[in-house]
Each structure stands twice: as C-alpha cells, then as structure tokens.
Amino acid sequence: MKATTPTQDLMRGIWRENPVLVQMLGLCPALAVTNTVANSLAMGIATFFVLLGSSLLVSLLRHLIPNEVRISAYILIIATFVTVAEMGLEAIVPEVHKALGAFIALIVVNCMILGRQEAFASKRPVGRALLDAVGTGVGFLIALFLMGAFREIIGMGSFLGQPLFGPHYEPWVVMILPPGGFLTLGALLIALSWFQKRRAAGAATAAALAAEGGAA
Amino acid sequence: MSAEVTPSPEFDEAPPVSPFKLLGTLGIAGALAGLLLVTVFQITQPSIQAYKAKVLRQAVLEVLGGPQEYETLYVVDGALTNELPAGADARALEKVYLGIDEDGSPDGFAIPAAKPGFQDVVSLIFGYDPATGQLRGMKVLANKETPGLGDSIEKKAWFTGQFAGRSVPLVAVKKGTGSGDATEVDMITGATISSRTVIKAINEALERVRGMVDAYRPGAAGAGGAER
C-alpha cells in the first residue's frame, strides 16, 4: 500500500475516487432512494454516520480483532451502527424513516462501508481512518444529492418539496420511478467522463503547444 | 514509490490464534453491541411510540369529521367491547374507534381497513356513521403504490375528499362517467388498481364490522355489546 498524505486521505473519496461516481460502489441506495432530495440527504447522512462510527471503531480495535474473524467483527460493528441510525431516524424524523423504508437496514450490506474497513481503516491509525471515512461519506452524500436533485427537479418539478415551476409543468414521472435512477446515474456518468475527457484533451493541447513553443 | 510501508505483522505469517480467543472476541463484541442497541432502543422507543399514537389520533379524528374525542373498541368474539379482555394483547386485536361528542354521546365510528394494492398492502382508516349509513371521510395510512400514479390515493385531495357523505357499499366509476348516485366514487386515471383497492377495502371492512357496529350499545360495557 502506498503512503498517502492526510489531505489525500480526506479528498480522495470526495472526487477522484468518489464511491458512487467512480468506484461504482453503494449503487443500491444510490438508485433506490434518490427520488427526492430529502430522501437522498437522509440516506447520505445515515450512511455517513455509520461509516464514521465503523471506521473509528475498526481502526481503534485493529490490533484486538484477530485476522481470522475480522469480517464478522466488521459486520457486527457496522450492523450495530446501522441499527442505531435506524432507531435514531425513526425517533427524530419519522416521515423520512417511513420514506426510506427497508433501505436504511440495507446500509449494512453497502459494500462501500465494508470496503473502507477492510481496505483502509483496519490498517491505519484512527486519525487517518476518520479522514478517509469523512471523505468517502461526503463523496457518497454529494453523489446522492446530485442524483436526488436531478430526479426531483425533473420528476416532480420541485426541490426539497418546494415547487420550482408553474402549475403547467408536467412532471416526468418516470424520473422518480426506479428506471429514472438508472437514467440519472447514466446521465451523470456521461457528463463526468465527458468533462474528464475534455480536461485531458485540454491538458494534452497545452502540453503540445508548450512543446511547439519550446521547439520554435 | 519509495514510501512502501512494511506490512503489519498481523497480516504476515501470524502465529495460529487460539479458537477461544476468536470465540471470546466475537462474544464480547456481540455482548457490547447488544448492550448498546438495548440502550438506544430504550431511549428512542418513547418518542417512536408517541409519534405512532399521534399519527393514529390525527387520522381517527380526521375521518370522524367532528368529534374531538374517541374511544377504542376491541373486536372480541364477533362483538365490540371497550374493555380489553384479561390477558389479551391489545396490539393483536382488531380495533374500531368510536367517536365521542362534546356532550359524551357516541358519534360515528372510525374503522381501519387494509387490502393488497398494486405493490403492497394499502392500509387506511375511514369514518362511518351508522345512523345515516354514510361515510365521514377516508385517509390512507400507509401505501407503497407507484410514486406519482398510485400514491395519488393518499395525496390527491379530490380523491380522498369525495368519500365524505358517500353511501355504502361504494361503487367505483371512471372519473367523469358517474350518474351522480351517492354510492359512486371516481377512480384516479392511471391508478385504477390502487383506487379500486381503496374502495374494495372499505366495502369489505364494513361488511365485516357493520353488524357489530350496529349492535354496539355504548355504556353497556363488556359483553353488553353482543346483544342483538
């Protein structure tokens, strides 16, 4: 494993290795609950909490957990935090809990979270593990927010429940149905790869110009 | 790449670990997790229960349309009673809610109903007035119908609002084709199955409890509800 700076640990998950948009992890919640901005944010925050708590504990206990039972121990830790998050949501924001339904419990099997424990938190000191968890959690939240905003604006003509367009706007209902999740994810990935290609092409042109200038 | 980190010893030729240590680790971890969960459960349960009770209370009063108080009646042996039988679990019994006027006289019943809809069970509650044989109102409590189409049974006010004053049994008609009869309920275009589910759920629930509701005499506590 390569040594990384703390800044890299933090920033990596947010953009360059965004769990949803680049690593393609945690797609089940990203497709299932992003039909409104409020649901996306709630899911993103719940996942963030679980990831942070699990990374903290796994990193703290990394010398105590025998290698042979580490996966069971990680799952136990993650499941505990998920259950706490579920009860907390039901007690604090029951409407959101009702809207997210079974998908909160399914955070347990979000491979993004287990992946961070196995690949990072179990081998690093607490500070680094927390930075990585914050970065990955924020990256996940951003991806979910983008999808939720896109789907709610087009599919319901509103943002966080506030109508954006006049009464004559006919919402594209398909965008808040399951197929809309796939369409949105596809559109986001196209936009992202187009953007990256343009950046790469721009850098190449600049390099070529610089080389030409140097030759002349 | 000079900054290769040396692999940590526990991932590299670790000595065999005693099975008791494995068992102990998981056992302690499980016990701690259980302890934490029970604590959180104890802390959150009151507000979860309070919320559920508040939602139910609002729904009952809304579909009763008038009374500000109500009494919970249990269905026991085919009759209604306001006294919970000894040893029975209140959550396992079917319930009906009796509206109580300001002067303490009974005023209408709120009856819960449920029926499988397009995707999952649609549960609802409706107000029924045995004196007139008319509905007082209807409110969907939970549904997983298609967002934007089927879930209009909960969200479209013209649909939910038309139940007040309807006579039973209800008849489902395509929107705009009714003859104006008091039993007709307009269905939602694009949500025919969901609309029909609501109407059938009400008809079926009423068929089941109508006899009990008509036979119930408030004040005659306990088995008194069974007299016919």
Residue B143: predicted pLDDT: 84
Question: Cα–Cα distance between B193 and B190 in angstroms, integer?
Answer: 9
Is the pLDDT score of B228 beyond 50?
no
Residue B211 placed within a domain: yes
Distance from CA of A176 to the nearest CA of B (A): 7
Distance from CA of A93 to the nearest CA of B (A): 10
Q: How confident is the model at residue B219 (pLDDT cuts 50, 70, 90)?
A: low
DSSP secondary structure string, B56-95? HHHHHHHHHTS-SEEEEEEEETTEEESSPPTT--GGGS-E
Counting residues of chain B whose pLDDT is more than 70, the rounded percentage is: 89
């965008």: which residue's tokens? A175
Residue B11: predicted pLDDT: 55
Residue B201 placed within a domain: yes
Residue B12 placed within a domain: no
**Contact A1/B5, CB-based, under 8 Å?**
yes
Write the pLDDT tens digit of every residue in B129-174.
Answer: 888 888 999 999 888 887 778 888 888 888 998 898 888 888 888 8
Q: In terms of residue numbers, what domain contains B136? A: 49-226
* DSSP run (H or E) holding A28: helix A27-32
* Number of domains forming the structure of chain B: 1
Residue A212: predicted pLDDT: 77
Write the pLDDT tens digit of every residue in B88-129.
Answer: 777 778 888 998 888 888 888 999 999 998 888 999 999 998
**Contact B147/A73, CB-based, under 8 Å?**
no
Chain A contact present for B86, CB below 8 A: no
B44, B118, B121, B154: best to mutate for the A interface, most A CBs within 10 A: B44
pTM of the model as a whole: 0.73
User: Who among A35, A68, A80 is closest to B37 (CB)?
Assistant: A80
Residue A129 placed within a domain: yes
User: Who among B17, B26, B36 is closest to A72 (CB)?
Assistant: B26
Chain B contact present for A87, CB below 8 A: yes
* Number of domains forming the structure of chain A: 1
Q: What is the ipTM of this complex?
A: 0.71
Residue A28 placed within a domain: yes
Residue A216: predicted pLDDT: 54
* Chain A residue with the nearest C-alpha to that of B36: A80
Residue A114 placed within a domain: yes
Of residues B17 and A195, the one with the higher pLDDT is A195
Chain A contact present for B20, CB below 8 A: no
């009990």: which residue's tokens? B212
B171-173 and B184-186 beta bridge pairing: parallel
Residue A193 placed within a domain: no
Buried b (16+ CB within 10 A) or exposed e, A18-35: bbbbbbebbbebbbbbbb
User: Who among B36, B55, B149 is closest to A80 (CB)?
Assistant: B36
Residue A2 placed within a domain: no
Is the pLDDT score of B1 beyond 50?
no
Interhelix angle for A37-60 vs A111-119, to 10°? 30
Residue A24 placed within a domain: yes
Q: In terms of residue numbers, what domain contains A140? A: 8-148
Residue B225: predicted pLDDT: 38
* Chain A residue with the nearest C-alpha to that of B144: A99
Tell me which DSSP letter residue A17 carries.
T
Residue B78 placed within a domain: yes
Write the pLDDT tens digit of every residue in B165-208.
Answer: 888 888 888 887 878 788 888 899 888 999 999 999 999 999 98
Chain A contact present for B221, CB below 8 A: no
Set of chain A residues whose Cβ sits within 8 Å of the Cβ of B48:
87, 90-91, 94
State the average pLDDT over residues B34-53: 91
**Contact B10/A63, CB-based, under 8 Å?**
yes
Residue A109 placed within a domain: yes
User: Who among B8, B44, B147 is closest to A177 (CB)?
Assistant: B147
Residue B14: predicted pLDDT: 59
Residue A120 placed within a domain: yes
- For chain A, list residues with pLDDT below 50: none
A8, A57, A70, A76: best to mutate for the B interface, most B CBs within 10 A: A76
Question: What CA dihedral angle connects B97, B41, A42 and B60, to 10 degrees?
Answer: 10
Q: How confident is the model at residue B9 (pLDDT cuts 50, 70, 90)?
A: low
Choose among B187, B182, B131, B181: nearest CA to B160.
Answer: B187
